[in-house]
Amino acid sequence: MVFRSAFLIIAVLVCWCLPAVADESVSCLRCHPVHYAERGSCVDCHRGDPRSSRPVIAHFGLIPADYSDFTLPESAVVKNGNKLLDEMACRRCHVIGGRGNRLATSLDQSVNLSDPLRLAEAIREPVLFMPDFHLPDPLLVEVVNALYAAGVGREVPAEQTPQVVHFEESDENEDNAFIKNCGACHRTLTTALGGLGSGEVAPNLSGLLTPFFPPTYKDDSDDPWNRDRLKKWIDNPRKSRPLVRMAPVRLEEEDFSRLMDILSEDVTVEGDSQEK
């Protein structure tokens, strides 16, 4: 009799616990307390695998605490991160939050496929054609949070994923108007020809003639770069910015128009077409 009621009590307890076992976040709850329950489940914000109680598996692809701020509304971290994305003009190469140039991987796609530590590493140790921004860790965390805030759950249309070939320069490119005239000091990304130039000393000119390149033509105005201004600049950069360290470059008319063909690709994705 005693055994029987003990069995019943256990059976009741097991049933009472079952709904919790069915809860997708249960493995997390074996080791962690609940927080932000009213805002969603653990994996909504942190990802990971809630079916496993082995930390290596449960934490696979985890969004760690520092990189979770993007899940909170009106996060100051995200706000600072957005400011940095603009200041460093990341959108001259990447689409972020549905806006930008498709000269390099869409970061809206990256945040849905990758974890924050991997992306932070890609910014800390950039590939050849991505500038090194030398971001200290706290700012790097803000930038990555801003990328997740902009891109998580966003669908990336096929035409926005760049078909960029980033091959090393080949001999065939020697006659290329950018490599020949600008490439000793500058680099640029193109979708047609891949990365051009090998310069380290001057700014990366990717997306120069698009709305996402900073308006650096003149010191005291926000005039964006365009064909005419670039021509004047090449003829005499110091007429626009007296202290600039670039000397005039002699360019035949034909070379200039070949340069324009390279720099005028239509690579810009504007937010509105995506924000349906």
Span 192-221, contacts to ligand HEC by CB under 6 A: 201-206, 208, 214, 216
Is residue 58 close enough to count as binding ligand HEC by CB under 6 A? yes
Site string for ligand HEC, 151-180 (x = CB under 6 A): -------------x-x--------------
Least distance from C-beta 274 to ligand HEC, angstroms? 19
Span 4-23, contacts to ligand HEC by CB under 6 A: none
Least distance from C-beta 4 to ligand HEC, angstroms? 35
Is residue 59 close enough to count as binding ligand HEC by CB under 6 A? yes
Site string for ligand HEC, 109-148 (x = CB under 6 A): -x---x----x--xx---x-xxx-x---------x-----
Least distance from C-beta 3 to ligand HEC, angstroms? 34
Least distance from C-beta 17 to ligand HEC, angstroms? 17
| SS (HEC) of the chain | CHHHHHHHHHHHHHHHHHHHHHCCCHHHHHHCCCCCHHHCCHHHHHCCCCCCCCHHHHCCCCCCHHHCHHHCCCCHHHHHHHHHHHHCCHHHCCEECCEEECCCCCHHHHHHHCCHHHHHHHHHCCCCCCCCCCCCHHHHHHHHHHHHHHHCCCCCCHHHCCCCCCCCCCHHHHHCHHHHHCCCCCCEEECCCEEECCCCCCCCCCCCCCCCCCCCCCCCCCCCCCHHHHHHHHHCHHHHCCCCCCCCCCCCHHHHHHHHHHHCCCCEECHHHHCC
Is residue 77 close enough to count as binding ligand HEC by CB under 6 A? no
